[in-house]
Amino acid sequence: MKLWGSRMEKELDEEVARFSTSIMDDYVLYPFDLWGSAAHCLMLERVGLLEKTEASAIMDGLRTIMGELREGEIDPSPYEDVHSLVEGRLHELIGETAGKLHAGRSRNDQIVLDERLFLREAIATAGEEIINLLRGFLKKAEEYPELVMPGYTHLQPAQPVLFSHHMMAYFSMFRRDAERLRDVLPRVNTLPLGAAALAGTSLPIERGEVARLLAFPAVQDNSMDIVSDRDFILEVLSHLALGALHLSRLAEEIVLWVSPGFGFLEIDDAFTTGSSIMPQKKNPDVAELIRGKSGESISGWLSLAVTLKGLPLSYNRDLQQDKAPMLRVVREVTDSLHLASRLVDNVKPRKEIMAAALNEGFLTATDLAEHLVERGIPFRRAHSLVGALVRDLASRGRSFTDMRSEELISIIGEMEEDMLPLLDPVQSVKRKRSYGSTAPVEVARQVEEGRYFVKQEKKRLGELQARWEKSYVEMFPGDETP
């Protein structure tokens, strides 16, 4: 069924029809298309554009279609898009009355509504997956509060840090992703329906009533902008792509840490694979796939940005191309977040190897330099003295662990107290004082604040989803929410 052919004298060319169809991309939006159609129907009845019996027939038809689509009873392939599928099937069920449902709206504002309903759900789902991942980092930090390991810059040994501090670094990273999704929601969660094709409608519709029925807190302004705006998709994809980038960094570190060069982590066998030819292999494939899929998410954002960059107002058919990258990025990032949280739950640090690595790379050199600063020596002079000590030891294949006090005195000079304890990596983290440092008390504070953040964020998402579910169930009682 075509919704637009009134003035045409010829049927659409078969190849053009195949080229222009979007049903296999937008078919997954059918719950949102039906939800929006139900709200539009109830509003049309309220303003007198539908009789009560007509509205009742339409609502019954929409509920029937929802059930049929849930059960896979409708073949979508003959239809141009999800809108023609719904309207075509509704016409088969209730006849000409189905045609009244389209009063006061266009496919141009209808598809934006579907996308906004879809994306606000996707934001909440991604937010929940981020919360699960954050909980994983918190759990690991609480499970190993005193485990000390090397910290790195440039992939070179730098200073001792708590393993829990490292976990909370990733917590901070993904917390920002949760906050960004929270920030974008108000710009997504606004009602576009009623803009019609681009100029609005002369029919006495009530856009505020549709917003209320669909639990939108606001109604979008300017009908021309509404039908051509895809900023909201691009912004969500931007935040999801950044989350994917963070997932890639996490995955890269896991891949590094399970390699023989580090050996800091062990992954449960259920999250690894072997080799078809090498029987000894245990490969971190889940982490590698998470790392690889991040490229898909970044490219999805770029694909849509290039599509939008030269479009004049208002609607253009180019905008049909927005759904494939939107759906792909949402799917890939949500799946990757879910698997990342499970992966974090299924890795454990190898304490002995981390402890042994603390003896390499002169990790506490900065502690010694800062102690000299406390004794009144200018930092640059202290830096030079400790650097000379490290150079001397390295040239003789020695480390801090086997150094004698006499060797320290020969470089640093006479000391009022024994400074060798300053070189202990475990004591190093305990001496840290600055806010946000790897000091145990600071990491404990981060964990406590992290727990509060997760609790509040979970509560907020729950309240939003309950509001949306109430809206949906009022129109589709007994049906599962999208």
Catalytic residues: 154, 275
Q: Sign of dihedral through CA atoms 437, 441, 443, 449?
A: negative
Residue found by looking up tokens 């003789």 in the block: 396
> Residue type at 426?
V
Nearest to 451 by CA among 126, 129, 136: 136
Residue found by looking up tokens 């879809």 in the block: 118
Q: How far apart are CA 333 and CA 379, in angstroms?
A: 46
Query: 32: number of CA atoms within 13 Å, CB side?
Result: 21
Count of other CB atoms within 10 angstroms of residue 314: 19
Q: How far apart are CA 449 and CA 443, in angstroms?
A: 10
Q: How far apart are CA 221 and CA 280, in angstroms?
A: 62
Q: Strand 265-267 relative to strand 218-219: parallel, antiparallel, unpaired? A: unpaired
Structure tokens at 421: 């304890």
Query: 204: number of CA atoms within 13 Å, CB side?
Result: 6
With beta carbons less than 8 A apart as the criterion, state whether 332 and 237 touch.
no
Instruction: Write the burial class of residue 129 (CB in 10 Å: 0-12 exposed, 13-18 middle, 19+ buried).
Output: buried
Count of other CB atoms within 10 angstroms of residue 273: 13
Instruction: Write the burial class of residue 48 (CB in 10 Å: 0-12 exposed, 13-18 middle, 19+ buried).
Output: exposed
Q: How far apart are CA 33 and CA 118, in angstroms?
A: 10
Instruction: Write the burial class of residue 181 (CB in 10 Å: 0-12 exposed, 13-18 middle, 19+ buried).
Output: buried
